[in-house]
Amino acid sequence: MDLAAYRTDAETFLAEYGAAYHRHFAGLTEALPLDEIYARHGALFSPEAVARLRERAASASGEDDGRRLRMLLDFAVEGCLGLETKALDAELAQREASLRIDLGGASVGFREAAVVQANEPDASRRAALEAARLAATEEALNPLHREALEQTRALVARLGWPSYRAMCEELKGLDLAALARSTDAFAAATEDAYDAVVGPAVARTVGVPLDRLTRADLPWLFRFREADDHFPQERLMSSFVATLDGLGLDLAAQPNVDVDVEQRPGKSPRAFVVAVRVPQDVRLVVPPIGGRDDYTALLHEGGHLQHFASVDPRLPFEYRHLGDNAVSEAFAFLFDHLVENPEWLRRRLGVEDEDGALAEHARASRLVYLRRYGAKLSYELVAHGETPPADARLADAYARTLSTGVRVPWPSATYLSDLDPGFYVAAYLRAWALETHLRAWLVERFGIAWFAEPQAGTALRALWRDGQRLSAEELLSELTGARLDFGVLLSDLGLAEPPAA
Ligand SMILES: [Zn+2]
């Protein structure tokens, strides 16, 4: 196997895939021509390529060699699975983009409905929207999701792994059982404080006591519309630009980045960054929903953007494009948590959190999110384990696990669409922990206003240059000597003593 040729072809594939993905989910084209792209690069993802890379990875000499080969193998397997389900994925994307739901005589696009729901002040209309979305998911999308999951499981078995979970753990170097133990411990440790942390924000924003909160209300809770005055649309880009400027980064002088915050029908309701070529061509898409969410989304994706755009172009392909996504996610969270930093609010938006409502809401939202993702990890371990339960029992397990984690009655309809490929849930959870460590490190060196210190920008750029060569655990160990521990989130939320330095 010619590894140099494999790497060149892999990079071309990612560029074509990224560009097509970008055009479709930015709402620029309806088509998502994955077929053609996979057809041109199918050899990358053949079971033979997977087998050859697996042999090479098993007999790799030296740490760097082994690291790169494991990343390449992970890439090949992911592509092999993508190839297997590509027809279904394209159909799902097209169906989702064209699907419409009926709402009391008015017709709303399925993707758009999520945005409408987050902006709907009336609880009964939110409930109706949610019910319609769930029904459409169940009816139009789940049959395709189900088929894709079955195809994935069958291929994993053919490739010789006992389960999708085992495969991901090996290829991504993850210990998911250990992570689940930490998130379970986090859930247990926050059980008693949950009402006190989440209740006041729910009462203030949703206007109901915590025990009457529903899943349909959550988008409205997170949307936090009463804070809109603090987060005006017209300051979105300028505060982002000023934030980068404070770190010594001049967005206008970066020829390799593209930022799209326009409203457009067919645009994905989810913000994203596509690294078409790292670091030469990185694109950011944010669908403006309004208010603080736009700031969070733009800063989050802005963190990814700056990370990928700052990677050393001389690094090998694997370290520029592949590796541990928890690393890039941690930089993204580092940026989006600025909207919770009182000093950032003061300096970049002229906002004083006088009655503490912003801090209260931020803390509540974080606890809900962290517990939701902990529950999601537990569920995904079941769904992707060696002996997953039959379909109906899997849906029940999903609803039960999420209901316990988030403490609202959680519907089962999204039990298939809520499965992220490659245990991305673990990347998020580890990223939250890494971000907390990184933020503490920055605050210790540069103060609470680290975002306004060019030297902090220099320190970040030094980390960004390395792409995703190191895992989140390794990066932290090299930077501070600390061990990555999810428990750090407890003290960050003020629910435990900070760990000894
Ligand atoms: Zn992200």
Centroid of ligand 1 to alpha carbon of 408 (angstroms):
25
> Could you give the angle at which helices 325-336 and 472-480 cross, rounded to 10 degrees?
70
Centroid of ligand 1 to alpha carbon of 274 (angstroms):
11
Centroid of ligand 1 to alpha carbon of 280 (angstroms):
19
Residues 6+ apart with CB under 8 A from 383: 149, 394, 397, 398, 415, 419
Centroid of ligand 1 to alpha carbon of 159 (angstroms):
29
Centroid of ligand 1 to alpha carbon of 355 (angstroms):
30
Strand pairing of 100-103 and 106-109?
antiparallel
pLDDT score of 102: 87
pLDDT score of 115: 85
The one-character DSSP state at 251 is G
Binning the chain into helix, strand and coil, the percentages to the nearest 5 are: 70, 5, 25
pLDDT score of 290: 72
pLDDT tens-digit map of 210-239: 999 999 999 999 999 999 999 998 899 999
Centroid of ligand 1 to alpha carbon of 26 (angstroms):
16
- Residue numbers in the chain where pLDDT is lower than 50: 501
Global pTM? Answer: 0.95
Residue where the block lists tokens 């809770």: 221
Centroid of ligand 1 to alpha carbon of 106 (angstroms):
33
pLDDT score of 317: 97
Alpha helices, H only, 193-247: 194-205, 218-223, 236-246
Centroid of ligand 1 to alpha carbon of 331 (angstroms):
9
Centroid of ligand 1 to alpha carbon of 336 (angstroms):
10
Own/partner pairs, 97-101, CB within 8 angstroms, 24+ separation: 97/24, 97/30, 97/266, 98/30, 99/136, 99/140, 99/141, 101/129, 101/132, 101/133, 101/135, 101/136
Alpha helices, H only, 121-260: 123-136, 142-159, 164-172, 176-190, 194-205, 218-223, 236-246
Centroid of ligand 1 to alpha carbon of 38 (angstroms):
25
Centroid of ligand 1 to alpha carbon of 307 (angstroms):
11
**Where in the chain are the domains?**
3-98+142-171
Distance (Å, whole) CA 222 – CA 451: 24
Distance (Å, whole) CA 488 – CA 490: 5
Neighbour-count burial of 36, counting CB atoms closer than 10 A to its CB (0-12 exposed, 13-18 middle, 19+ buried): exposed
Centroid of ligand 1 to alpha carbon of 332 (angstroms):
6
Centroid of ligand 1 to alpha carbon of 211 (angstroms):
31
CA 343, 348, 353, 359 torsion-angle sign: negative
Centroid of ligand 1 to alpha carbon of 387 (angstroms):
31
Centroid of ligand 1 to alpha carbon of 415 (angstroms):
21
Centroid of ligand 1 to alpha carbon of 306 (angstroms):
12
Centroid of ligand 1 to alpha carbon of 300 (angstroms):
6
Distance (Å, whole) CA 501 – CA 494: 17
Centroid of ligand 1 to alpha carbon of 30 (angstroms):
24
Centroid of ligand 1 to alpha carbon of 125 (angstroms):
30
Centroid of ligand 1 to alpha carbon of 212 (angstroms):
31
What element of type H or E holds 432?
helix 424-446
pLDDT score of 90: 84
Centroid of ligand 1 to alpha carbon of 431 (angstroms):
9
Centroid of ligand 1 to alpha carbon of 59 (angstroms):
33
